[in-house]
Amino acid sequence: MFDGTWQALYPVCLYSKGGREPMVNVEQLKYSVNRMEVDSVLEAALELRLDGLVVGERTPFGKVHFNTCFAEVEALFQRAGYHRPLDVVGYEGQVYALYDPSRWEAVQVLRWLKERSETSADAGCRLALGG
């Protein structure tokens, strides 16, 4: 009979590409998201209500959160008063956006992220070159 003791004995971890060094303890990550204050996502929830999407950098979350504990992220947004559908899309593993799939299609958000990413990269190159 399963009683959950295996989780205490063998915590679930993600491993680096080499497979030797644990990068993230998934259970600890989920626990930390579940313990986050609602205030940490209030502005992002407002943007979602108004625009139907918010870029990941405007949230306290990163790629690892979206890939491992999205249900906990959704629950936090629900506690913050955002009760609409929620999904996430990323561009080249660098930028992410949370969006309302009833207002946006994933491909639209992906194009927007791509354009945003390329625009900021071009601006960064111009700045670095003194232009």
What pLDDT sits at residue 122?
61
pTM, full prediction: 0.73
Domains of the chain by residue range: 21-128
Write the CB contacts of 11 (distance below 8 Å, at least 6 apart in sequence). 25, 26, 27, 28
Please provide the DSSP assignment of the chain as one string: ---SHHHHHS--EEE-TTSSSEEEEHHHHHHHHHTS-GGGGHHHHHHHHHHSEEEGGGSS--HHHHHH-HHHHHHHHHHTT--S--EEEEETTTEEEEE-TTT--HHHHHHHHHHHHHHHHHHHHHHHTT-
Q: Between β-strands 53-55 and 22-25, what pairing exists: parallel, antiparallel or unpaired?
A: unpaired
pLDDT averaged over 10-residue windows placed end to end, the chain, 131 residues? 40 50 77 94 96 94 90 96 95 93 97 89 54 54
What pLDDT sits at residue 117?
87
**20-54: b (≥16 Cβ within 10 Å) or e:** eeeebebeebbeebeebeeeebeebbebbeeebbb
Long-range contacts of 1-4 (CB under 8 A, 24+ apart): none
